[in-house]
Structure 1
């Protein structure tokens, strides 16, 4: 297969975190030396030297629940990354271009171009390829050029979480001067959503539900105020939903829209007490919180079906329910690139770990206390712009 490579030599092997069976990262993941450098599978694919990897909870679920007989093993985890193209197939956009700078707005992927990307789930499962390695071979349709105004570590997160937040906000059709409640405004998805909500609705009143520790960050991201969920139940035995019902229960105080970037079932089932009625006042969320124990799967599926379909006369919540499942594609990546380039949102990197300590990223995610995105540094390019 014809390809074009950067002037720097490409090694024969690389380091990568791999696993050969399903299970928790601490049990099944190990650093593997001398993994063969992946070859380009098609004439439209590229080889990227990975700079940073942004972890996300969906990978924990895949590692726990997808058995070895349903995927290629050994497997390299993670899908979202940033890096620099070192080789490309002959039909990759811009691969035949030599010299000069990439033109703004053009999908030009010649070797040396700084990019970010997100490997789709099915190619990840079929190939065993993932981002938690020094190199990744990926279709050019699954990458975009890195915005020129952000770092590689920030660009790595412009995949699943940023796209999910974008779809979450667009699905709600937020009216002017809306009163908004957002759960987990500082999380992986939530911190992007909070920034988008504030940027697009400067006169909205945004209340965030987070820990008191995250109050200042939530305000910087765009919240007007926060509610400390760790303060409940309080001395009077009042739960968080009791407090919301009491403080925001009358017609004048109710919220226009609720964004749940965490997946709280209690927040949804009680929402009719503090969310205005009507089709224009939805509860928009990422779905019920999913644990990683196989015993939790039936309960999770039951909640998904019940929340979406149960009629009010059978006990369903009398409010519009919008569950967002966002899958990245070329259009999604280019939209996230554009939003970042225009400054509508910026990645908040809450924790950065070196490649050798990547297991710590999964510990942070499993704790449920991640602020913004957790990223793993593999290599820092000398250049941090988006040009070739």
Structure 2
């Protein structure tokens, strides 16, 4: 099969495009013909070695954790799926090796759910990791109706999901973003606020009683954000261990079939949408990584075999 891989830690220049052996599904896995795979910041961070000691590589590594595609072969015990099923998944294992930037991936059934019928393969590929991160962050924060939720990096892949999910829960959402993304946040139901110097003062003006939930999706903001919280507020960060010292939760997103299935249902109901910013061919994965690392793209970057 055609795939993108790397044989040593490095940047986008370390990626190679070429032939690798087709994967074979284990007893509790299915073989998925990849139709689209989304790029996430964790892909190029893991590739650069930032997760060394947490998730170790088995070289050569095929990067990528997000996928949508079609089941083409079954493992020995996979009653959850049939050949021909359209699926999406956050296909993460406890080591780096068999990723989704390829024509095929052997995906454990614990990582997959059925693709929402109303989403394209490109949109569905952008849902699992970002959607699960937002969904599990809001659950960890016990966000609900009547809460005021402050979402940092609200226009990003995870942030835009968190805005939509929090609004669905009945929460008021204040989202930090650059000025150019304010109209986008308003379209999702958030009240935008510009990040940077003076942010706390702007948030206090919008929520004089303090915010009930803080979702840190960018890093380096939880300490300052704790100054604009109401009594009993809940803080969750996906990047900053300092949150635990403030009584909050550091969250590492997990593959979860029930959560991913729930996200799929919300997408089918029109509650949750996925914005796709760019679609590039698989052989241009290095360019896709560079675009992701620049951090200026709104929505998901997707590669297709």
Q: Does the pair score TM above 0.5?
A: yes
Unaligned runs of 5+ in 1: 1-13, 94-106, 233-238, 289-303, 310-316, 379-388
- Please give the alpha-carbon distance, in whole angstroms, between the structure 1 residues aligned to 2:61 and 2:284: 18
Unaligned runs of 5+ in 2: none
Is residue 248–residue 255 contact of structure 1 (8 Å, CA) maintained in 2? no
Shift of 1:175: 4.6
Listed one character per residue, the Cα deviations across residues 311-339 of structure 1 (whole Å, up to 9, x for unaligned) are xxxxxx5xx42322221133333233233
Alignment pair present for 1:180 and 2:131: no
- Please give the alpha-carbon distance, in whole angstroms, between the structure 1 residues aligned to 2:128 and 2:234: 25
Is residue 31–residue 105 contact of structure 2 (8 Å, CA) maintained in 1? yes
**Equivalence for 2:303:** 376
Alignment pair present for 1:227 and 2:193: yes
Runs of 4 or more, structure 1, over 6 Å off, are: none
- Please give the alpha-carbon distance, in whole angstroms, between the structure 2 residues aligned to 1:30 and 1:151: 27
Measured on the aligned residues, the alpha-carbon RMSD in Å equals: 2.4
Distance verdict in 2 for CA 1:183–1:67, change over 3 Å:
closer
1:117 to 53, 71, 89: 89
2:265 to 338, 350, 353: 338
* Bigger radius of gyration among the two: 1
Is residue 22–residue 67 contact of structure 1 (8 Å, CA) maintained in 2? no
**Equivalence for 1:16:** 3
2:109 to 135, 140, 146: 140
- Please give the alpha-carbon distance, in whole angstroms, between the structure 1 residues aligned to 2:113 and 2:228: 41
Distance verdict in 2 for CA 1:175–1:140, change over 3 Å:
closer
Query: Larger % of strand: which?
Result: 2
**Equivalence for 1:256:** 212
Shift of 1:246: 6.2
2:21 to 33, 36, 51: 36
**Equivalence for 1:294:** none
1:72 to 58, 64, 81: 58
Distance verdict in 2 for CA 1:270–1:36, change over 3 Å:
closer
Shift of 1:372: 2.2
- Please give the alpha-carbon distance, in whole angstroms, between the structure 1 residues aligned to 2:244 and 2:278: 35
TM-score by length of 1: 0.72
TM-score by length of 2: 0.90
